[in-house]
């Protein structure tokens, strides 16, 4: 139990060891007077922060600040990201990714066009071969 009456400990790891307090302490030692999410445990705030980070709502540093942790201040942690199948992508990379995707689409179209051309050439070669064989058989 906490030294402050009415504030119960809620375990962050889920093992009821009392590793976190139910309310976030302010750096001065007092509880937040205007907690944006009153009564939420650090575990709950962290889970919300993770979802916000994964969906580009908040940066890692913003969530760390809300948890009274010092921000890391790295380029990768100070801007929002969105998680994709290829991993986290910073919003600042979006224009570059769109350009890359457009270029890939153009290249895929060129490849498809070349494949179609090669198939047509092969069909013509097979047809020409059949014509040549037929002429030989007919003695022409």
Q: Tokens for 118?
A: 């090669």
List pLDDT tens digits, range 102-125: 899 999 999 999 999 999 999 999
Report, as an integer, the average pLDDT of 5-23.
46
Q: Measuring CA to CA, which residue among 23, 28, 29 is closest to residue 6?
A: 23
Secondary structure (DSSP) of 9-70:
B--SSSSSS--SBSSPBPTTSSBPTT-SSTT--HHHHHHHHHHHHHBTSS-HHHHHHHTT--
pTM value?
0.46
> What's the mean per-residue pLDDT of the chain?
77
How much is the pLDDT for 140?
A: 80
Contact indicator for 8, 16 with CB cutoff of 8 Å: no
How much is the pLDDT for 16?
A: 52
């Amino acid at each position: 139990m906490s030294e402050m009456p009415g504030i119960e400990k809620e375990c962050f790891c889920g093992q009821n060891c009392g590793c976190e307090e139910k309310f976030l302490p302010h750096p001065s030692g007092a509880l937040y007077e205007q907690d944006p999410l009153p009564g939420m445990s650090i575990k709950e705030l962290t889970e919300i922060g993770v979802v916000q980070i994964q969906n580009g709502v908040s940066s890692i540093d913003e969530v760390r600040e809300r948890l009274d942790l010092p921000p890391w201040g790295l380029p990768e942690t100070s801007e929002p990201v969105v998680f994709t199948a290829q991993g986290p992508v910073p919003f600042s990379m979006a224009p570059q990714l769109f350009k890359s995707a457009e270029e890939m689409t153009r290249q895929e179209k060129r490849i498809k066009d070349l494949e179609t051309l090669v198939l047509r050439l092969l069909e013509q070669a097979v047809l020409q071969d059949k014509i040549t064989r037929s002429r030989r058989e007919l003695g022409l």
